[in-house]
């Protein structure tokens, strides 16, 4: 190739379109046959783009239905040759030859049109379809007679194409070349010198065709001429050029036009035959001419989209070998036989609900190969959706948002794009786009109530659940996940968090303390519900907690006052009549309501027939006339009782003196009668005596307690045998001589008495006169030389503890329950072990023994408090992943060496309703339509299909029920509540629509319940053809119909 053909010419021009994004167009020029990987152009420089934009925008090349010869290198921002380009195979004789494609960018969506012109190189030599041409020429042919030669073909174009012909040197013939308007050449052989058959009956010539490339190429053909006897006149066409029109798709065998030629000769020399002399194969494949009458007929289908014009060269030959030629110019008339072809160049499956109007959703390329009005296309979408479709450039449309989106109102759109041409009749195509609206956090949580009131009975257990606040968020997923927060405030100067707590996940309000109605009757706080969005949104609600009274206080008697130092008596004169008010018992109860309703009863009385007590007011009155026989001293016991459940009461004693004068009272109540010579010092002596007696009593009590403690300590150190011999216990080194010499501080003599039933500890002993504790040497035995008789004086001794008891759990094994999705750190339960030893030997520590659960260390599941034995969760459990597991806890005391015991703990996870049902059948697909067929002869109860769903939860959380949410005709179908069977509830008739769409809701029995929906398409028809006529999306061609038939199932 020359430098001229290899030079790349880059033509760059940018056109800004009226869109939300800037589009441009770039043109490049490259020669054909470039090697793979060769550079075409740098689009980042030519379009002013950044390489990072190519990567972030997921740049790609869109070519429609054509093959990809060019590829995009996003790392370098350049276009490269992907496949070898043969201009002749790509464009044939069409000039200029160019590749057209688009570069698509996303986020935001942009596209750029790229044109790459393919220039020709001289890589094809001229060639003749037939390597040999034969002519029969009469010797009487006159000078100047012309003979049409077959033209050569060169696949190259321009200067590289066919340029000239040459003929082997001869005296009889020369070449005449005529240039045609289409760039072709007609080659004629002209007789220069008369022929003489007698001298030369046959001649052989060579015709050479030469192109104009730098490295010139050529092709040859042999011409064989047979000289005949005289044929004086050549055929002559009635006109050199014939023009005609033909409609595409005309039936085969149709006559297009006719040509006519005449020959002035007579007889056999005037017989003319017609033939097509075009060397282009397409013409001979599509058209044929009757060799006798010159009628041009259609041989194969004529397609306007493949060729709009044809030039047909016809040759007329007589029997003597003389010829003439003409040309038929045939124009093809277009008819509207092609639907618009919709190509999705780039689309977004998900768009955020806060997208601004004008946001590009999808870019569409629509091609209609028809011409004129038949090829003009308009696109539209379904009504009442917040989208519109705009025409950007020729054949390109963009689907953009037309107004604000709201996911909470419509989370998904099925957008039908229909493109129609302007032909008569109009043809159209449609495609359905499914667009999901993704959520943004634009809704704050909303509480179910504007305010809450809750009640709790006083003296509650701390940690008791009081009630639950609930808020819902219309958003989705994380944006709808609500957390509950107790806002900081104070109640009576104390932080509200010391009164109640709020579960962040569930909104359950728990008490932190035990409430006392008498101290606080109600209080308020605020709970904030906050979603999981970024930034989060929140709302508040006021909660009022009212403490309900319990009957936890007994009545208190205010009057009469009870004292231990003096006697108070009410005096009743003997002249008192019936109903005389003696006194009034006054009592109060700090409880409230019926717990504070008091009633008074006379429990005991010296004379029950004399007094009564008002049950409501506590007034003590006489119920008969007082007489002289009534005793002076009257004692009444009154019970004051509240109305609680159970009731509480208090008693009061009332002393009544029935007398008319005080001396009479004094003579009876001797406690108040004293000597006349009352000693003023008596009170002092009485007080002094009382103090002395009290002091002596206290000292005695202290002495008795000291003795008891002393004996108890000695009992811990010494054991007594069944006989009179004391037992010397084992002493660990801890009790060795404090001096560290390994010897006893005192000298002890032991007398060992052994019997047949004696034990190692059966030994007489006697303590020294100044010691009561025995110390042993380092060998923990007594030296034999120091034995002597010990005198047992019968005193008690204390036994010191050794670590001889291991901790013992309260149970042999434990079982505990915890609800899944718990908060990490939650207290599950408590293990408890006791040790019979004392002090440090009895101090128990709890240790979680190492083991694994499902291959994971058990310490990543739970932890055990070493001091209290409380088992806490380390993680949040999922019932669907693990339903139960076992751990072992070791209880170890503080002795040296320590003793321990183990216990097995089984932890069972309880299920929560945290999984929605999953529909297994019918399967929902986006690329195909699955439909159940119901014959019109179906009777009541006909089984259409069965919805099959499962729930991975357990128990009632997995109990599923099926409901018909929506239906094209609710009077035709029903869904079995328990089994999901869809059946007809009446006779199917001819008026029922073929297309029926049912929406079934599958709901579990959890609290709150969760659900899933499934769409079921039903075709009411007796035959598949009836279904196809209604489901027009599937009526394309036979192959497509065959494919669709596989998606329909018939339950006959």
pLDDT grade, residue 716 (50/70/90)?
low
Q: For residues 906-925, give the mean pLDDT.
A: 87
Mean pLDDT, residues 795-800 taken together: 61
**Average pLDDT score over residue span 926-933:** 68
Token pair, residue 1013, equals 């929906």
Count of Cβ atoms closer than 10 Å to residue 984 Cβ: 20
The confidence score (pLDDT) of residue 756 equals: 38
Q: What is the DSSP letter of 479?
A: G
Tell me the mean pLDDT in the region 954-963: 87
* pLDDT tens profile 112-159: 889 999 999 988 999 988 889 998 888 878 888 888 888 888 888 888
pLDDT of residue 909 exceeding 60, the answer is: yes
901 pLDDT tier (thresholds 50, 70, 90): very high
DSSP 635: E
What torsion, rounded to 10 degrees, do the Cα atoms 382, 387, 391, 395 define?
A: -60
Radius of gyration of the chain (CA): 59
CB 317 within 8 A of CB 272: yes
> Positive or negative, the Cα torsion across 845, 849, 854, 859?
positive
Q: Sorting pLDDT into bands at 50, 70 and 90, what band is 713?
A: low
Q: Which of 165-169, 266-270, 276-280, 536-540 has the largest mean confidence?
A: 536-540
Residue 269, pLDDT above cutoff 90: no
Q: Mean pLDDT score of the chain, rounded to an integer?
A: 82
State yes or no: pLDDT of 237 exceeds 80: yes
Residue range 69-87, pLDDT digits in tens:
999 998 999 999 999 999 8
Q: What is the CATH number of domain 918-1050?
A: 2.60.40.60
Phi-psi region of 26 (alpha: psi -120 to 50; beta: other; left: phi over 0): beta
Tokens of 64: 């429609």
Q: Would you call 411 helix, strand, or coil by DSSP?
A: coil
Q: How far apart are the first and last CA of the chain?
A: 72
What's residue 929's pLDDT? 60
Q: What strand order describes the sheet that includes 377-381?
A: 350-352, 428-438, 412-421, 377-381
* Second-level CATH architecture of 341-438: Sandwich (2.60)
Q: How far apart are CA 602 and CA 636, in angstroms?
A: 7
556-672: CATH class: mainly beta
Q: Report the DSSP beta bridge partners of residue 587.
A: 557
Strand order across the beta sheet in which 870-873 lies: 827-830, 870-873, 862-864
- The helix (run of H) or strand (run of E) holding residue 88 is helix 87-91
The CATH 2.60.40.60 domain(s) of the chain lie at 3-119, 122-230, 232-333, 341-438, 446-548, 556-672, 808-910, 918-1050
Residue 652 exposed, middle or buried by CB count within 10 Å (0-12, 13-18, 19+): buried
Is residue 152 within 8 Å of 64, Cβ to Cβ? no
State pLDDT tens for residues 329-386: 999 999 988 999 999 887 788 999 999 998 888 989 999 888 888 989 999 999 999 9
Percent over 70 (pLDDT), the chain? 84
pLDDT band of 683, cuts 50, 70, 90: low
DSSP secondary structure letters along 209-255 = EEE-SSS--EEEEEEEEEEES------EES-SEEEEEEETTPPTT-E
Q: What's the CATH number for 232-333?
A: 2.60.40.60
Taking Cα atoms as reference points, which of 271, 185, 289, 179 lies closest to residue 234?
Answer: 271
Question: How would residue 436 be classed by pLDDT, with cut points 50, 70 and 90?
Answer: very high
Q: Which long-range contacts (CB under 8 A, 24 or more apart) does 494-501 make?
A: 496/523, 496/525, 499/523, 499/525, 499/545, 500/466, 500/525, 500/545
Q: Which of 947, 960, 950 is nearest to 1006 (CA)?
A: 960
CB 1028 within 8 A of CB 1034: yes
Is the separation of the CB atoms in 162 and 185 below 8 Å? Answer: yes
Of the candidates 459, 695, 653, 670, which has an alpha carbon nearest to the alpha carbon of residue 569? 653
pLDDT band, residue 445 (cuts 50/70/90): very high
> What CATH class does 122-230 carry?
mainly beta
Task: Round to whole Å and give the CA distance between 483 and 503.
Answer: 8
Q: What is the pLDDT of residue 301?
A: 92
CB 364 within 8 A of CB 345: yes
Nearest to 529 by CA among 484, 476, 497: 484
Average pLDDT over residues 511-531: 94
Q: What is the pLDDT of residues 833-843, one digit of tens each?
A: 999 999 899 99
State the DSSP string of 421-439.
Answer: ESSSS--EEEEEEEEEEE-
User: What pLDDT, on the 0 to 100 scale, is given for residue 1011?
Assistant: 94
The three-state secondary structure class of 652 is: strand
In CATH, the number for domain 3-119 is: 2.60.40.60
Q: Which pLDDT score is estimated for 1?
A: 42
Query: Is CATH 2.60.40.60 the right assignment for the domain spanning 446-548?
Result: yes
- For 208-236, the pLDDT digits (tens) are 999 988 888 999 999 999 887 666 678 89
CB 445 within 8 A of CB 539: yes
The pLDDT value recorded for residue 173 is 92
Q: What is the pLDDT of residues 449-470, one digit of tens each?
A: 999 999 999 999 999 999 999 9
Q: What fold is seen in the domain 808-910? A: Immunoglobulin-like (2.60.40)
User: Mean pLDDT throughout 393-416?
Assistant: 90
- Residues whose CB is less than 8 angstroms from the CB of residue 230 and which lie 6 or more positions away in sequence, other chains included: 138, 139, 140
């Amino acid at each position: 190739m020359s430098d001229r053909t290899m030079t790349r010419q880059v033509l760059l021009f940018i056109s800004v379109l009226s869109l939300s994004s800037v589009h441009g167009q770039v043109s490049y020029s490259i020669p054909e046959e470039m090697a793979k990987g060769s550079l075409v152009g740098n689009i980042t420089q030519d379009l002013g783009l950044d390489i990072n934009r190519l990567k972030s925008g997921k740049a790609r090349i869109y070519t429609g239905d054509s093959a990809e010869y060019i590829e995009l290198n996003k790392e370098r921002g350049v276009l490269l040759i992907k496949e070898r380009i043969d201009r002749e195979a790509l464009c044939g004789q069409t000039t200029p030859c160019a590749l057209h494609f688009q570069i698509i960018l996303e986020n935001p969506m942009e596209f750029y049109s790229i044109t790459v012109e393919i220039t020709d190189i001289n890589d094809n030599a001229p060639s003749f379809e037939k390597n040999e041409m034969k002519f029969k020429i009469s010797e009487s042919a006159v000078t100047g007679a012309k003979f049409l030669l077959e033209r050569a073909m060169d696949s190259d174009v321009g200067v590289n194409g066919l340029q000239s012909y040459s003929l082997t040197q001869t005296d009889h013939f020369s070449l005449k070349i005529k240039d045609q308007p289409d760039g072709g050449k007609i080659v004629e052989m002209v007789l220069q010198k008369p022929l003489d058959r007698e001298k030369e009956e046959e001649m052989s010539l060579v015709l050479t065709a030469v192109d104009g490339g730098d490295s010139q190429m050529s092709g040859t053909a042999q011409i064989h001429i047979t000289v005949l006897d005289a044929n004086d006149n050549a055929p002559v066409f009635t006109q050199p050029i014939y023009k005609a029109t033909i409609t595409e798709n005309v039936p085969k065998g149709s006559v297009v036009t006719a040509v006519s030629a005449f020959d002035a000769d007579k007889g056999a020399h005037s017989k003319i035959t017609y033939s097509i002399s075009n060397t282009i194969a397409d013409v001979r494949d599509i058209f044929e001419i009757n060799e006798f009458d010159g009628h041009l007929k259609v041989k194969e289908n004529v397609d306007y989209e493949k060729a709009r014009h044809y030039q047909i060269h016809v040759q007329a030959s007589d029997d003597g070998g003389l010829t003439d030629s003409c040309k038929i110019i045939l124009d093809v008339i277009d008819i509207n036989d092609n639907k618009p072809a919709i190509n999705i160049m780039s689309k977004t499956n998900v768009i955020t609900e806060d997208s601004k109007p004008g946001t590009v959703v999808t870019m569409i390329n629509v091609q209609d190969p028809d011409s004129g009005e038949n090829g003009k296309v308009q696109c539209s979408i379904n009504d009442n959706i917040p989208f519109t479709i705009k025409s950007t450039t020729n054949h390109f449309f963009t689907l953009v948002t037309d107004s604000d989106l709201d996911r909470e109102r419509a989370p998904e759109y099925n957008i039908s794009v229909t493109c129609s041409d302007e032909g008569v009749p109009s043809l159209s195509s449609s495609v359905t786009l499914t667009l999901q609206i993704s959520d943004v956090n634009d809704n704050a949580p909303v509480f179910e109530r504007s305010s809450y009131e809750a009640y709790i009975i006083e003296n509650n257990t701390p940690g008791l659940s009081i009630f639950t606040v609930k808020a819902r968020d219309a958003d989705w997923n994380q944006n709808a996940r609500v957390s509950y927060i107790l806002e900081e405030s104070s109640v009576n100067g104390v932080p509200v968090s010391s009164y109640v707590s709020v579960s962040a996940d569930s909104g359950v309000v728990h008490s932190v303390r035990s409430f006392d109605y008498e101290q606080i009757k109600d209080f308020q706080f605020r709970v904030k519900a906050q979603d999981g969005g970024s930034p989060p949104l929140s709302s508040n609600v006021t909660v009022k907690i009212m403490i309900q009274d319990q009957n936890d206080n007994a009545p208190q008697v205010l009057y009469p006052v009870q004292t231990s130092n003096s006697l108070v008596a009410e005096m009743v004169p003997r002249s008192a009549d019936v109903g005389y008010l003696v006194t009034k018992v006054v009592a109060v109860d700090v409880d409230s309501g019926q717990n504070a309703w008091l009633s008074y009863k006379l429990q005991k009385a010296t004379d029950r027939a004399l007094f009564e007590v008002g049950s409501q007011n506590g007034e003590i009155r006489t119920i008969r006339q007082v007489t002289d026989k009534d005793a002076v001293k009257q004692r009444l016991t009154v019970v004051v009782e509240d109305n609680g459940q159970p009731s509480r009461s208090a008693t009061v004693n009332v002393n009544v003196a029935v007398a008319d004068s005080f001396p009479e009272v004094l003579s009876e109540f001797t406690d108040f009668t004293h000597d006349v010579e009352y000693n003023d010092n008596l009170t002092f002596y009485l007080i002094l005596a009382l103090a002395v007696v009290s002091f002596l009593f206290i000292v005695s009590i202290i002495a008795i307690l000291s003795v008891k403690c002393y004996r108890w300590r000695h009992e811990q150190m010494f054991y007594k045998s069944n006989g009179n011999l004391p037992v010397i216990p084992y002493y660990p080194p801890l009790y060795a001589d404090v001096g560290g010499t390994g010897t006893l501080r005192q000298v002890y003599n032991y007398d060992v008495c052994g019997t047949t039933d004696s034990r190692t500890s059966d030994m007489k002993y006697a303590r020294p006169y100044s010691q009561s504790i025995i110390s042993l040497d380092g060998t923990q035995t007594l030296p034999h030389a120091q034995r002597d008789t010990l005198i047992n004086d019968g005193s008690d001794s204390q036994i010191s503890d050794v670590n001889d008891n291991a901790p013992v759990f309260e149970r042999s094994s434990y079982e505990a329950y915890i609800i899944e999705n718990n908060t990490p750190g939650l207290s599950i339960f408590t293990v408890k072990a006791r040790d019979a030893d004392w002090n440090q030997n009895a101090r128990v520590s709890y240790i979680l023994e190492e083991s694994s659960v499902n291959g994971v260390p058990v310490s990543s599941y739970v932890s055990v408090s070493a001091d209290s034995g409380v088992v806490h969760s380390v993680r949040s459990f999922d019932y669907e992943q693990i339903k139960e597991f076992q751990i072992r806890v070791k209880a170890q005391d503080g002795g040296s060496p320590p003793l321990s015991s183990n216990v097995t703990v089984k932890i069972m996870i309880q299920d929560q309703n945290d999984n929605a049902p999953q529909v297994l059948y019918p399967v929902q697909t986006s690329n195909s339509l699955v439909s159940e067929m119901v014959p019109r002869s179906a009777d009541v109860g006909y089984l259409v299909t069965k919805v099959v769903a499962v729930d991975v939860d357990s128990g009632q959380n997995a109990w599923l029920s099926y409901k018909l949410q929506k239906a094209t005709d609710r009077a035709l179908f029903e869904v079995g509540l328990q089994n999901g069977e869809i059946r007809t509830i009446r006779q199917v008739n001819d008026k029922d629509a073929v297309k029926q769409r049912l929406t079934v809701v599958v709901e579990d029995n959890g609290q709150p319940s969760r659900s899933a929906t499934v769409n079921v398409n039903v075709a009411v028809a007796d035959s598949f053809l009836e279904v196809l006529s209604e489901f027009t999306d599937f009526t394309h061609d036979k192959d497509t119909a065959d494919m669709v038939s596989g998606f329909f199932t018939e339950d006959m």
